[in-house]
């Protein structure tokens, strides 16, 4: 778990309580951005971005597009977050379901970081 603890995780779209829960699960540095536009300013300080997979307002579309492009180019370790049981479109990006389980988050972080390095 020390490998995960050395990572900086940015939660996008979650609240402070969720960030604290992830911090306790991972013993990692956890930041929070309430929207993708806010996340863009914090990307340089994050190893992994955990993005809530939901219908964002149209004002967030440009930032969401940029996050997708960075992920597809291997320049961003992106993970999508969904509520357990929610169906979503198929994607090459790792997905974790809430409520989070530590082994799922760590596994998704490893996969996202490996995709970024490949």
Measured over the CA atoms of residue 46, residue 106, residue 33 and residue 89, the dihedral's sign is positive
- pLDDT score at 88: 67
Q: What domains lie within the chain, and their CATH numbers?
A: 2-108 (3.40.50.2300)
* Helix-, strand-, coil-residue percentages of the chain, each rounded to 5: 45, 20, 30
- pLDDT score at 100: 85
Q: Please, what is the angle between helix 102-117 and helix 16-26, to 10°?
A: 80
* pTM: predicted TM-score of the whole model, two decimal places: 0.87
Query: Over the Cα atoms of the chain, what is R_g?
Result: 13
- pLDDT score at 6: 75
Strand spans (E) along 13-118:
29-33, 48-52, 77-83, 95-98
- C-alpha 57/C-alpha 104 separation (Å) is 28
One digit per residue, the tens of pLDDT, for the chain of length 118 reads 445 557 899 999 977 788 888 888 887 889 999 999 999 999 999 999 999 999 999 999 999 999 999 999 999 999 999 887 777 666 778 999 888 888 999 999 999 999 887 7
- pLDDT score at 42: 93
CB-based contacts of 34, cutoff 8 Å, min separation 6: 12, 13
Query: Which phi and psi (to 5°) does residue 48 adopt?
Result: -135, 140
């Amino acid at each position: 778990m020390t490998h995960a603890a050395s990572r900086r995780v940015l939660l996008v779209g979650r609240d402070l309580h969720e960030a604290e829960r992830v911090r306790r699960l991972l013993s990692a540095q956890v930041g929070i951005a309430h929207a993708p536009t806010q996340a863009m300013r914090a990307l340089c300080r994050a190893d992994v971005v955990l993005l809530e997979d939901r219908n964002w307002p149209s004002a967030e579309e440009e930032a969401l597009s940029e996050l997708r492009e960075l992920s597809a180019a291997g320049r961003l370790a992106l993970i999508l977050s969904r509520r357990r049981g929610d169906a979503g479109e198929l994607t090459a990006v790792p997905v974790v379901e809430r409520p989070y389980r530590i082994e799922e988050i760590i596994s998704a972080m490893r996969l996202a970081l490996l995709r970024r390095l490949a």
